[in-house]
Amino acid sequence: MEIRGVDFVSICVPEDKMEEAKQFYGQLLGLRQEGISNDTWVEYQAGALTIGLDSAPLLAPAADAAPGGEVRIALAVSDVAKAMAELEQKGVRAALPAEDFGPCLQAALRDPFGNLIFLHQRRDGTAG
């Protein structure tokens, strides 16, 4: 598997703190809001990196997750299914199976600390 770059980082935000988080990242830090935005997900551009604020938990935290918040990172790959198959051959289990989100495909696994690592494939072939 070849990692082509980091597509986005997701910061988990309590649902009742989303407006405060948007104020912090958008107004205080001055990041440009761009990309997908809805009630539970907002994207900001930080140079070549997208930062997503996420108030919709995908999975319950892992039992052995470190205290604090869950950090997520999306690693750009050329083929999500192939990359996940390679990892499964090495004993890694999918935390979330491959799913089609329209402009992208992604699957997820957990790191040893309970954080989600996404394997992310943009349909337009870009990365980062």
Kindly report, residue by residue over 47-86, the tens digit of the pLDDT. Answer: 788 989 888 866 666 666 555 556 777 888 999 999 999 9
Q: Report if residue 127 sits inside a domain.
A: no
pLDDT at 65: 59
Range of the domain at 84: 5-58+68-122
**What CATH number is associated with residue 87?**
3.10.180.10
Cβ pair 84, 106 in contact under 8 A: no
Residue 20 per-residue DSSP state: H
Greater confidence (119 vs 63) lies with 119
Give residue-wise pLDDT tens across range 92-118: 899 999 999 999 999 998 876 677 889
Count up the domains in the chain and report the number: 1
Domain assignment present for residue 109? The answer is yes
Q: Across the chain, which distance is largest between two alpha carbons, in Å?
A: 45
Contacts of 91 (CB under 8 A, 6+ apart): none
Judge whether 32 lies within some domain. Answer: yes
Is 63 among the domain residues?
Answer: no
Q: Is residue 113 part of a domain?
A: yes
Over the stretch 18-54, which tens digit does the pLDDT of each residue have? 898 898 889 877 889 998 888 889 999 887 889 898 8
pLDDT at position 59: 66
CA distances, 13 to each of 17, 92, 97 (Å) = 6, 27, 23
Q: What percent of the chain has pLDDT over 70?
A: 87
Residue 128 maps to a domain? no
Residue 53 in any domain: the answer is: yes
Residue 23, pLDDT score: 87
- Confidence at residue 97, expressed as pLDDT on a 0 to 100 scale: 94
* Residue 68, pLDDT score: 55
How many CA atoms are closer than 13 Å to the CA of 29, on its beta-carbon side?
Answer: 15
Output the pTM of the full model.
0.64
